[in-house]
Chain A
Amino acid sequence: MKTIDMRYFAFLTDRLKGDVKDVSSAGDVEQLRVKYLGRKGLLSKASQNFKLIEEPDDRRFYGRGFSEFKKFATSVIEELQAKYQDEKRIDKVDLTLPGRRDFSGGLHPLTQVLEEIIDIFRGMGFTVETGPEAETVYYNFDALNTPHWHPARDLTDTFYLDIPGDDKLNWLLRTETSPVQIRVMERKRPPIRIIAPGRTYRKDKPDATHSPVFMQVEGLYVDKGVTFADLKGTVVAFYRALFGPETDSRFRPHFFPFTEPSAEVDVSCLFCRGEGCRVCKGSGWLEMGGSGMVDPNVLEGVGIDPEVYSGWAFGLGIERIAMLKYGIEDIRLFYENDIRFLEQFD
C-alpha cells in the first residue's frame, strides 16, 4: 500500500504560489494551467490516488483537500488569465485610428508675417515704434510734405473723423504708418533706425485686392551720410531674408511726397524666378512698395538739418506679403476670421 501524504494539497498550494511569482505573460499562464489543471497535470494525478485510500475519514479528508485546492488553483489561474488577456488585447490595438487631440490655437497669418518681418529688421538694428491710428492732418499729410492739393487728402480717399467742433477736418484715420516717423523724429535726434508696423486706413471699397483697413510696415533711417546706396543695401538684404537668398530687387523711379529721390521696389517673382508667370503678369517682377530718400522738407519740419543729415524710408504692405507667401488670392479672407481659414496657419 502506498503511503498517501495527507498534507499533499498544502504542499501543492505552496508550490502554486511559488510558480505564480514567475508568471510574466499569457504564455506562462497557459503553462501553469497545463501543469496544474491539465489532463496530465498534477491535480489529475492526485485524483488517481483516491481509490488507494481505504479509511473513509481519510478519503473524506483527502477529498476536501482536493476540491479546495482545485477551487484555489482554478481561481488563481483564471485571475492570471484575466490579467494577461489585457496584454493580448493591447497586441490588437489599431493604431490607424485617429489620435486623441486637444484644441490647438494659432496666430493669425498676418501676425506671423509681421513678426517675421520685425525679426528681420531687429536683426538689422531697427527698433519697433508705434503711434496712434486716429491721427491729425498735420502728422499724416502736412509734416510728410504732402502738397495741399494732393488727392490723397480728399474725402474720397481718406477717412476723416466727426469730432464735435472740428470743422476744419483736422482728425483722420492714418493712411500710412509714416506719421510715426514724424513723431519719432520730433522726439529723438539722429541716428534714428526704426520700423513702424501698424494698421492703416484708406477709403477703398473692399474687393479681392483692396481693403479699407490694412497693415503696413515702414522703415526709417536718418543719420549723417546716409545714401541711396544704403537704402538699396538694406532693402535688398531685407527681401533676401524674407523671400530667400536668390531674390533680386529692382528700384524704379516713382513719386511719393515725403521722399525724393523716390523709388518703387519690385522683387523678382517668387513663383517663376523672373521668367514671367500668371502671378507677375508675365513681367518677372512683383511690386512690393515705395521707398526713397527722406525729403529735405520733412527733415526741416522736425528740426533736423538736411544739410547735415540725410535718411531713407521705405514701406510695404503686410497683406501683400502674406498673400504671396501663402498663395491667398482674396485680401478679404484675412479680416473675415473664418476658423477654417485661420486653422490653416496653426
Chain B
Amino acid sequence: MKISYNWLREFVDFLQSPEELAELLTRIGLNVDAIEEVGAQWRGVVVGKVLACESLPGSAYLKLCQVDAGTGEKLPIICGAPNIAPGQIVPVALVGAELPGGFKVGERTLRGVLSRGMICSEKELGIGEDAEGILALEDPPPTPPCNSRGGEIPFKIGAPLEEYVGLKDWVFDIEVTINRGDCLSHLGVAREVSAATGPELKLPPVDLEEIDEQTADKVTVEILAPDRCPRYSARMVKGVTIGPSPLWMRERLRSVGIRPIANVVDVTNYALMELGHPLHAFDYDLVSEGKIIVRTAGEGERFITLDEEEHTLTSTDLLIADPEKPVALAGVMGGLNSGIKADTSEVLLECAYFNPVGIRLTSRDRAIGSESSYRFERGVDPEMTIFAVNRSAYLIRQLTGGEVLKGIVDNYPQPWRPRKINLRPGRVNALLATDIEPAEMTGYLQALGCGVDIKPSPPPETGVGIREKATIKVTTPSWRHDLEREIDLVEEVARLHGYDRIGVADTSAVPLSVDTEREQSRRLVQRFKGALVELGLHEAINFSLVPGTDSERFPDGRQPVILKNPLSEDMSRLRTSLGPSLLRAAERSLRAGCADIRLFEWGKCFRMEEGQAAEGYKLAGVIAGTVRPSSWIEKARPFNIHDMKGMIEQLSSKISLDKVNYIYYDIPEYLKIGGCIAIGEGDGQRIIGRFGQMQPAVSDQFGLDLPVWYFEMDGGRLLGLAGAVPHYRPLPRYPAALRDLSFIIDEDLSADRLEEVIRKFGGELLEGVELFDLFRGKGIPPDKKSLAYHLTFRSAERTLSDSEIDQSVGAVIEAASRHLGAALRSQ
C-alpha cells in the first residue's frame, strides 16, 4: 500500500520527519519497505512567468518569449506551443534540467536566435498526456480542497515546480499484513499514527450543500442477498461535467499508484485511497428505473466488466443489477454497460459493505482482482459507507460543478454490532513478561478506537490461573474485524507498548536436550555423508519436483505422486528416485566443462502406495570420468565397475554395515552391469541398494554420452542396519605365515566361488584370503583364467609349524581341484 506523507498529515498532526515516520510505522507493525521522494524527477524545473511573446522572424508558428524564471534576468526561450501568451505562469526547464524520460535541456539556436531553456507541456513533465500546448499554471496556485492547511503552499517565481503544485512529498511503500484491511487507506494508517503518537485523528471536510431534490425520489435499493450485502448506501449528484481532474488530484493519485482517468472516477478512487472504502459511480441514465437490486447471479449468467472481459457467472457471484440487467460485479468491478461516460451528467454513487468471503470467492473463481475487491476481501468498515459516499459527493461537487441531491438511500438489513471481549491485565503481563498497568492498557485500546470499561474482579478464584485485580471489558471498533479474542488484544497492547520495551530473557541456563531416536538417525546420516565426502563425492541437493518424462527415461517401476496444480510440466510430480536429477546435474556440470563427476544426494523420494502418498529417504550417487584427477605427474585412468564396487565396499565399512554381500541378478532395467547390495543371509537377507554402470540408452536420454556409474540405497534400511558398533578383537600375539597360491580355473567360474572353497577348506587356521593377481594369456589355456591369492595362516595360541600349514594348503588345493576343477599354476 502506497501512503503519501503529505496526505497523511491531513488526518493527523504528527511531527516526525519522513524517515522518523517510517521508523515509527515499522515499529508498530506497518513495515515500510521503501520511501520514494516525489518531485525528485523534476530537478531544474521552476515556476516562471511569460513577460513577452512575439513571433520568431521567418517562422509560421514558433514564438520568442521573454521569461522571468527567478534567475535575475530575462531568459529568451523559443516556444512552439499555440496556447502560449504573455502573463502566463508556466513550468520552465532551465538549461541543465533533466526531464522525466532522460531529456536534457540545453541552450539552442534556432534561426540565429538563442533559446535558453524550455517551457514544458504536461507530457514533457510526465504528468499528463497533453503534448499540444504548454502547461499554463493557475495564479494563485490551487490548493486541494481537502487540505486543512489551504493556501499555505508557498509560491514565488523561480520556485521549484513541485513546491508550486504542492507535490514535494514522500511516498511510503507499506507492507500491510492480511489481517489489517483497516490500514489500506490514509485514514487507517493515520489512525495508527495517532494511536502511537497522541495527536487526534481529523476527518476531511464534507460540507455538501444539498439541493432540495431527494435521492430517495430517484433511487431505490433492494437487497435480495442480505448475508452477502449487509449494507448498501447510495447518493445522487446531478449536473456534472466530465473532464480531467485538476493537477493536484491527478498527481496525488499518481503518487499512490492510481492512474487518473476523469474527475468522477478519480474522486471515487481518491476516496478509496483516503478512507479505504470502495465506491462505485454509475451513470444514472444507464440504470433502468433508478432501481438497484443486489442479487446473486444465475448459473451461467454472462456479464462484461469495465475492462471489457466477459465472465460466465455462478450462483456464488453477487451482482448489482437493475430490473433489466446486471450493472456491476459486486465489490469487484463495474459493468461496461453502466460506467461513467464523457457525456454523463447524473451520477449514482454506490457505497456498500459486502461480505469478505463472497468477494474472495468471486475474485478467485473469476480470476479478477481490483483495488476494491482487495479491500472488501480483507473487510472494510461497515459504518463508513455514509461518510464515504458523502465525501465523494462533496469532492464531485467541488470538481465538476454538480449538485448533490438531498439525503441518502441507506439499506442496512444486517447492522454491525461491536464485539465484547474481556481482557485480563494479569494475563497480558504473564505472556509478555511485562509490568504494564491496567490503565496504560486501556489507554492503548482507546487510542485504537476500542471502548473500555474496567471492572474490579470478584474475589480470587481457586486453582490455577493468574489472579486478576481487574478485568477490562473491551468493545471493538467497526473497522477492526481482526479483534475477536483476548489474545488479539494482548497483541494490540504489546504493539503499542512497543516490542522493544519487552525484556530479553536470560537463556544462559537452559534445559538439557534429550537424545531421541531421530537424533541418532541424524548423526548416522551425517556419517553417510561424511563417508561419501571422504570418497571424493560432492553432495547435491536437487528439487524434489521433477518432469513427468522421468519415469519413462529412468524406469524404476515406482508409481509417482502427481501434483494437482504444478507450476510447469518440468515440476509436475514428486521424484520416485534421486537418479534423474543427479544425471541432470551431472550433465549440467559436464556441459560447463567439468571432466569428472562425483555427486551424491541424500533426500526424500515419493511414491503412490495403496492409494496414498508414501515417502522415504534414499541415498544415491552418480560418477563419471576418471578414478583420480589427471595431473602432470600421471594420466588418470577411467573409472570402471571395480572402482564402483570398491567405493560401495569402502562406504559400507565406513558406515559400519555388517554382513554385506552382493547379488548379481535381478538388477534394475536402467543398469547395464551391476549388482544388488544385500545385508544378511537366507530369509533374513535384505536388499538395501544397487550399483553399476548405467545403460547407455538411459544416460543418453539425459545428454550424457560417456560411461556413467550409479548407486542407490534405501535410506530407511540403511538407517536400520548401519552404524553397528565395532567389536574389539585382541591383537595377534603369534606371527602369521603367508602362502601364495595361483589357480587356473574356467573363465565362466566366478571368483567368489573359488574364494568360498578356499575359505571353507582352509580350516580354522586360515585367517585371510586376498586376491592379488588375475591373469589371462601366455601359459594359460584359452577359456581359462589364473587367480592368485595371498593366504594368511595364524593361530592365537602358538607359532605354526610348516607341516601344519602344508596340511591346510594341501586341503585347499585338493578341494579346489575336486569341487571346481581348479589346477595349481606351475611356478
Binding site for B on A (CB under 8 A): 97-98, 100-108, 110-111, 115, 118, 122, 124-130, 132-134, 149-151, 154-156, 159-165, 169, 171, 173, 191, 193, 199, 201, 203, 205, 212-213, 225, 227-230, 232-234, 236-237, 250-255, 260-264, 281, 293, 295-296, 307-308, 310, 334-340, 342-343, 346
Contact = CB atoms under 8 A, between A and B. Distances in A.
A193 B544 contact: no
Contacts of A340: 589, 592-594
Given A134-B606, A155-B564, A252-B29, A105 B532 contact: yes
Name which of B177, B538, B592 has the most chain A CB atoms within 10 A of its CB.
B538
Contact of A98 (B532, B592, B632): B632
A100 B588 contact: no
A153 to B, nearest CB: 10
Contact of B529 (A111, A165, A308): A111
Nearest to A112: B539
A162 B564 contact: yes
Contacts of B494: 228, 253, 261
Interface in B534-576: 534-545, 561-567, 571, 574
B500 interface: yes
B535 A105 contact: yes
Contact of A296 (B487, B534, B540, B613): B487
A164 to B, nearest CB: 6
A236 B504 contact: yes
B60 interface: no
Interface string B611-645: 11101000000000000110111100000000000
A213 B430 contact: no
Contacts of A193: 511, 513
Nearest to B180: A255
Given A232-B504, A337-B599, A103 B563 contact: no
B533 A107 contact: yes
A173 B545 CA distance: 10
A296 B427 CA distance: 12
Nearest to B593: A340
Contact of B502 (A149, A165, A232, A307): A232
A165 B516 CA distance: 37
Interface of B: 26-29, 31, 34, 177-180, 356-357, 360, 364, 377, 430-433, 464-465, 485, 487-488, 490-491, 494-495, 499-500, 502-507, 510-516, 518-519, 522, 526, 529, 532-545, 561-567, 571, 574, 585, 588-589, 592-594, 596-599, 603-604, 606, 608, 611-613, 615, 628-629, 631-634
Contacts of B593: 340
A129 B563 CA distance: 26
Nearest to B26: A252
Contact of B633 (A100, A126, A205, A260): A100
Contact of A134 (B179, B510, B574): B574
A253 B506 CA distance: 22
Contacts of A263: 499
Contact of B628 (A102, A127, A307): A102
Contact of B539 (A106, A126, A128, A169): A106
Contact of B631 (A100, A133, A171): A100
A229 B503 contact: yes
A171 B565 CA distance: 12
B329 to A, nearest CB: 19
Nearest to A159: B563
Nearest to B360: A149
B588 A338 contact: yes
Contact of B495 (A232, A261, A293): A261
B433 A227 contact: yes
B130 to A, nearest CB: 36
Given A156-B565, A199-B604, A260-B490, 19 more contacts: A103-B596, A104-B536, A105-B539, A107-B529, A108-B539, A111-B541, A128-B516, A149-B356, A161-B563, A165-B611, A173-B574, A191-B511, A205-B567, A228-B432, A229-B433, A252-B499, A253-B495, A310-B431, A342-B540
Given A161-B561, A307-B465, A342-B538, A101 B613 contact: no
A124 B512 CA distance: 8
A299 B594 CA distance: 52
B500 A250 contact: yes
A238 to B, nearest CB: 9
Contacts of B562: 161-162
A126 B567 contact: no
Given A133-B615, A228-B431, A149 B357 contact: yes
B567 to A, nearest CB: 6
13 contacts: A105-B533, A105-B538, A111-B529, A122-B513, A133-B606, A149-B377, A169-B564, A213-B545, A229-B503, A260-B487, A261-B432, A263-B499, A337-B588
Nearest to A163: B613
Contacts of A339: 538, 589, 592, 594, 597, 599
Contacts of B615: 132-134
Name which of B507, B519, B535 has the most chain A CB atoms within 10 A of its CB.
B507
A250 B723 CA distance: 43
Given A111-B529, A193-B513, A212-B571, A337 B628 contact: no
A291 B502 CA distance: 15
Q: Nearest 4 A-B pairs (CB), nearest first?
A: A103-B536, A253-B29, A233-B505, A255-B177
B518 A130 contact: yes
B538 A296 contact: no
Contacts of B631: 98, 100-101
B513 A151 contact: no
Contacts of A343: 538
A340 B540 CA distance: 12
Nearest to B538: A342
A287 to B, nearest CB: 9
A105 B533 CA distance: 4
Given A163-B613, A228-B433, A261-B490, A234 B503 contact: no
Contact of A227 (B356, B432, B510, B567): B432
A306 to B, nearest CB: 8
A326 to B, nearest CB: 15
Name which of A101, A108, A171, A236 has the most chain B CB atoms within 10 A of its CB.
A108
Given A162-B563, A252-B499, A110 B432 contact: no
A253 B499 contact: yes
B513 A125 contact: yes
Contact of A103 (B491, B505, B613, B629): B629
B565 A233 contact: no
Contact of B488 (A102, A124, A199, A260): A260
A146 to B, nearest CB: 11
Nearest to A213: B543
B518 A337 contact: no
A212 B503 CA distance: 37
Given A124-B510, A125-B510, A149-B360, A337 B589 contact: yes
A163 to B, nearest CB: 6
Contact of B588 (A149, A160, A336): A336
Name which of A124, A151, A310, A336 has the most chain B CB atoms within 10 A of its CB.
A336
Nearest to B486: A296
B565 A160 contact: yes
B117 to A, nearest CB: 35
A191 B585 CA distance: 44
A193 B510 CA distance: 10
A307 B540 CA distance: 46
Nearest to B427: A307
Contacts of B178: 150-151, 255
Nearest to A206: B567
Contacts of B28: 253
Contacts of B540: 108, 337, 342
Contact of A199 (B177, B377, B544): B544
B795 to A, nearest CB: 39
A181 to B, nearest CB: 14
